[in-house]
């Protein structure tokens, strides 16, 4: 059986979740739900990164120990996947004892394999990025990402020989789909070609973190700890089972572009150094921009995804995230856009289609649909390529394109209602057969679309299938024409997406 392991980055707990985190988690959930529909053996991991230096600082500001602070804020983070209806198999916290032990073993392997040495490090460090900065990367002496001056840090650290992995990394990038989209692979490749500097995997003078096993006065650099979560989780997510053999290296890492270097360069090198296979694939996405600015707590422009879910429900927010911006690119999104898609696309295109269809079946056929597929059906033609097209796009992480492909069929179904005018056919007894075929095609078409959409809007898909009195069968083979059998008892369905007030202008 083919395996599909998908990860989100683990999120820093120095703040509460915002829409940018929900965005990655939603995309990962769409991908993994889809792969499950295709019968793949899947695993979906998300979680939080607790060992950042800034976590200790924020905790101190609040008069708490780092662990107390992390325990409190982890509650909101654990809530995020639940609220957006993400079907993660495990939620990792880097303060989990099992993770800490695994990281120590992993770093020990790097050390034992001769890839670690001690040196003095001095440089400019941005606490926001948790990374050293070169003068060239600064704008007016400040980190462009965080609009703050980096600090001068000088200490004795343990270094990982990243520079010795240049050739192996370049060979990896020869794999055409190792890093996607292609322009991100080029970005990683040019970074490696530009010459790699060894990087420090330890921090002296800190206590919040995982002790370096051979030098317990130092703790692991937060990235040397965090990246390893993708492996460590597999060793304890299911008590008594080690899933490493099963899911490594069948992993697909999703990440935003600001952490490309850590994931596409440092991580594969660390894995090779420790004796593991590099990941199967990395997909680097852009930012969902509200008002053309990156949605980020550090810039104070925050939309709480949980607030949006309160108003619209999880499915419309998932739909909007997948559709508002082409996944992979940066793009502007707005709350008005969310409202508009809720009304026009979900409410009208899909919701009205279901309401009209079920109302007509109830009215003209007493709620009964007889199995009546036809060979030259327009709906059969529209559905024929859908399953393969959507699968191909989602295999290439084209979350937005796959949804647009499904929506083409939703629009075709709406055109079909107008073109066949069942309300006219119903007036003419001689057209009884034609009406049966049209109603069958509509019910069957909506059913197939619901199955195709269920990775995006799982609750809605279920409600559509229930309204059509269809079994809750989500296997991908159901995205095909003519799978609906005889049905009875269909009633006019209530609106899937009731009208809501437009959002108030942002305060």
How many whole angstroms separate alpha carbon 173 and alpha carbon 352? Answer: 47
Q: Is 143 one of the annotated binding-site residues?
A: yes
Of 471, 473, 472, 469, the closest CA to residue 488 belongs to: 469
15/352 with CB nearer Zn ion: 15
Q: Is 146 one of the annotated binding-site residues?
A: yes
Among 129, 204, 332, 412, binds Zn ion (CB under 5 A): 129
How many whole angstroms separate alpha carbon 290 and alpha carbon 307? Answer: 15
Tokens of 271: 């894995």
CB of 230 to Zn ion, least distance (A): 23
116/143 with CB nearer Zn ion: 143
Q: Is 129 one of the annotated binding-site residues?
A: yes
Among 3, 57, 78, 146, binds Zn ion (CB under 5 A): 146
What's the Cα-to-Cα distance from 488 to each of 358, 362, 435, 466, 492, rounded to whole Å?
Answer: 11, 9, 16, 12, 13
Q: Is 285 one of the annotated binding-site residues?
A: no
146/246 with CB nearer Zn ion: 146
Element holding 271 (H helix, E strand): helix 267-274
Site size toward Zn ion, by CB under 5 A: 6
41/137 with CB nearer Zn ion: 137
Among 56, 58, 143, 172, binds Zn ion (CB under 5 A): 143
How many whole angstroms separate alpha carbon 48 and alpha carbon 359? Answer: 47
Q: Which stretch binds Zn ion (CB under 5 A): 136-144, 287-295, 315-323, 367-375?
A: 136-144
Task: Please list, residue by residue across 231-245, b when 16 or more beta carbons sit within 10 angstroms of its beta carbon and e when fewer do.
Answer: bbbbbbbeeeeebee
38/148 with CB nearer Zn ion: 148
Are 336 and 446 a contacting pair, CB within 8 Å? no
CB of 14 to Zn ion, least distance (A): 13
Q: What is the Cβ-side half-sphere exposure of residue 216, based on CA atoms within 13 angstroms?
A: 1
Q: Which stretch binds Zn ion (CB under 5 A): 33-41, 110-118, 139-147, 322-330?
A: 139-147
Among 126, 264, 409, 452, binds Zn ion (CB under 5 A): 126
Residue 145 binds Zn ion (CB under 5 A): yes
CB of 74 to Zn ion, least distance (A): 24
CB of 53 to Zn ion, least distance (A): 12
126/455 with CB nearer Zn ion: 126
Residue 478 binds Zn ion (CB under 5 A): no
Among 20, 66, 81, 128, binds Zn ion (CB under 5 A): 128
Angle between helices 305-312 and 19-37 (to 10 degrees): 60
Q: Which stretch binds Zn ion (CB under 5 A): 142-150, 372-380, 392-400, 485-493?
A: 142-150
Are 222 and 130 a contacting pair, CB within 8 Å? yes
**Residues annotated as catalytic (active site), given as ranges:** 18, 21, 126, 129, 143, 146, 294, 297
How many whole angstroms separate alpha carbon 162 and alpha carbon 168? Answer: 11
Q: Show Cβ contacts of residue 230 under 8 Å, excluding neighbours closer than 6 positions.
A: 7, 45, 251, 253, 267, 279
CB of 131 to Zn ion, least distance (A): 7
- Residue found by looking up tokens 């898609």 in the block: 341
DSSP string, 130-160: TEEE-GGGEETTEETTTTBPPEEEEEEEEEE
CB of 133 to Zn ion, least distance (A): 7
Residue 130 binds Zn ion (CB under 5 A): no
Give the annotated binding-site residues. Answer: 126, 129, 143, 146
- Binding-site residues for Zn(2+), in ranges, read 126, 129, 143, 146
Which positions touch Zn ion (CB under 5 A)? 126, 128-129, 143, 145-146
């Amino acid at each position: 059986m083919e395996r599909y392991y998908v990860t989100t980055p683990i999120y820093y707990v120095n703040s509460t979740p915002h829409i940018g985190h929900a965005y990655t988690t939603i995309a990962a959930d769409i991908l993994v739900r889809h792969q499950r529909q295709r019968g793949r053996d899947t695993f979906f991991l998300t979680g939080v990164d607790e060992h950042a230096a800034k976590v200790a600082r924020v905790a101190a500001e609040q008069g708490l120990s780092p662990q107390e602070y992390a325990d409190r804020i982890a509650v909101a983070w654990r809530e995020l996947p639940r609220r957006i209806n993400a079907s993660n198999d495990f939620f990792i916290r880097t303060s989990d004892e099992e993770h800490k032990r695994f990281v120590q073993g992993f770093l020990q392997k790097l050390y034992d394999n001769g890839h670690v040495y001690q040196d003095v490090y001095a440089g400019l460090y941005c606490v926001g990025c948790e990374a050293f900065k070169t003068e060239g990367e600064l704008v007016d002496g400040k980190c462009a990402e965080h609009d703050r001056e980096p600090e001068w840090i000088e200490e004795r650290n343990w270094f990982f020989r990243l520079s010795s992995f240049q050739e192996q990394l370049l060979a990896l990038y020869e794999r055409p789909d190792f890093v996607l989209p292609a322009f991100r692979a080029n970005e990683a490749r040019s970074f490696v070609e530009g010459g790699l500097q060894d990087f420090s995997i330890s921090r002296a003078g800190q206590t919040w973190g995982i002790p370096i096993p051979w030098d317990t006065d130092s703790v692991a650099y937060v990235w040397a700890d965090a990246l390893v979560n993708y492996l460590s989780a597999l060793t304890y997510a299911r008590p008594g089972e080690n899933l490493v053999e099963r899911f490594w290296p069948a992993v697909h890492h999703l990440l935003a572009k600001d952490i490309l270097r850590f994931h596409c360069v440092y991580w594969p090198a660390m894995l090779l150094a420790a004796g593991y296979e590099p990941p199967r694939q990395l997909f680097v996405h852009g930012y969902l921009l509200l008002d053309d600015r990156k949605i980020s707590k550090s810039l104070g422009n925050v939309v709480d995804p949980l607030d949006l879910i309160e108003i619209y429900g999880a499915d419309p927010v998932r739909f909007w995230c997948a559709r508002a911006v082409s996944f992979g690119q940066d793009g502007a999104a707005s709350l008005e856009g969310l409202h508009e898609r809720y009304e026009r696309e979900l409410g009208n295109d899909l919701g009205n289609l279901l309401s009209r269809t079920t109302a007509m079946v109830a009215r003209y056929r007493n709620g009964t649909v007889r199995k009546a597929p036809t060979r030259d059906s327009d709906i059969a033609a529209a559905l024929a390529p859908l399953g393969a097209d959507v699968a191909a796009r989602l295999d290439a992480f084209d979350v937005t394109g796959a949804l647009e492909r499904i929506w083409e069929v939703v629009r075709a179904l709406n055109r079909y209602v107008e073109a066949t005018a069942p309300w006219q056919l119903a007036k003419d007894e001689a057209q009884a057969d034609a009406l049966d075929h049209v109603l069958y095609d509509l019910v069957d078409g909506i059913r197939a679309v619901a199955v195709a959409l269920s990775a995006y809007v799982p609750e809605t898909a279920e409600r559509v299938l229930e309204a059509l009195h269809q079994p809750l069968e989500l296997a991908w083979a159901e995205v095909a024409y003519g799978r609906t059998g005889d049905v009875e008892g269909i009633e006019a369905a209530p609106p899937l997406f009731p009208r809501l007030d437009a959002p108030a202008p942002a305060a």
